[in-house]
Amino acid sequence: VLAIQQPHFISSFALSSSFILVGVPTLEAFPICLGILFCSAYILALLGNSMVLLVIVLDGSLRDPMHCFLAMLAAIDVVIVTSIVPKLLGIFWLHSNQIGYTACFVQMFFVHSTTSEESGVLLAMAFDRYVAICHPLRYRMILNRQTVAQICLAIVVRALLFMVPLTGMVTNLPYCHSLVVPHSYCEHMAVTSLACADPNPSRLYSISVSSLIVGMDTAFIAASYLMILKAVLGKASCRRAFSTCGCHICVMMLYYIPGLLSIYVQHFSQAVSVRAQVLLADLYLVLPAMLNPIIYSMRTRRIQKAVLNVLLPRKAHGCHSTQ
Tell me, what's the pLDDT at 155? Answer: 96
Taking residues 68-96, what's their average pLDDT?
93
pLDDT band at residue 232 using 50, 70 and 90 as cut-offs: confident
Distance CA 60, CA 176 (A): 55
**300 within domain boundaries:** yes
Tell me, what's the pLDDT at 42? Answer: 95
What HEC string does 58-112 produce? HCCCCCCHHHHHHHHHHHHHHHHHHHHHHHHHHHHHHCCCEEEHHHHHHHHHHHH
Taking residues 119-126, what's their average pLDDT?
92
Distance CA 323, CA 317 (A): 10
Say whether 181 sits in a helix, a strand or coil.
Answer: strand
Cα angle 147, 150, 151 (rounded to 5 degrees) comes to 85
**241 within domain boundaries:** yes
Higher pLDDT, 106 or 246: 106
Higher pLDDT, 307 or 283: 283
* 8 A C-beta contact, residue 267 and residue 203: yes
Cβ burial of 175 (10 Å; 0-12, 13-18, 19+) is: buried
The chain-wide mean pLDDT, for the chain, equals: 82
Query: Each residue of 7-50: pLDDT tens digit?
Result: 443 444 343 478 999 888 877 777 888 889 999 999 999 999 99
**DSSP tag of 168:** H
**233 within domain boundaries:** yes
Tell me which residue of 41, 206, 200, 182 sits closest to 116, measured CA to CA: 206
Query: Each residue of 246-281: pLDDT tens digit?
Result: 667 777 777 787 777 776 676 665 667 778 888 888
How much of the chain, in percent, has pLDDT values that exceed 90? 35
Distance CA 181, CA 84 (A): 14
Tell me the residue range of the domain where 248 lies. 24-305
Cα angle 209, 213, 214 (rounded to 5 degrees) comes to 115
* 8 A C-beta contact, residue 224 and residue 126: yes
**295 within domain boundaries:** yes
pLDDT band at residue 128 using 50, 70 and 90 as cut-offs: very high
Tell me, what's the pLDDT at 3? Answer: 38
Distance CA 107, CA 101 (A): 10
> How far does Cα 119 stand from its chain's mean position?
8
Half-sphere exposure of 269 (CA within 13 A, CB side): 13
Cβ burial of 181 (10 Å; 0-12, 13-18, 19+) is: buried
Say whether 169 sits in a helix, a strand or coil.
Answer: helix
**82 within domain boundaries:** yes
Residue 314 scores a pLDDT above 70? no
**323 within domain boundaries:** no
Query: Each residue of 143-197: pLDDT tens digit?
Result: 999 999 999 999 999 999 999 999 999 999 888 767 888 889 998 888 988 888 8
Residue 296 scores a pLDDT above 90? no
**11 within domain boundaries:** no
Domain count within the chain? 1
pLDDT band at residue 297 using 50, 70 and 90 as cut-offs: low
Tell me which residue of 28, 25, 21 sits closest to 99, measured CA to CA: 21
Tell me, what's the pLDDT at 238? Answer: 62
Predicted structure pTM score? 0.84
Tell me, what's the pLDDT at 11? Answer: 40
CATH number at residue 106: 1.20.1070.10
Tell me, what's the pLDDT at 2? Answer: 36
**10 within domain boundaries:** no
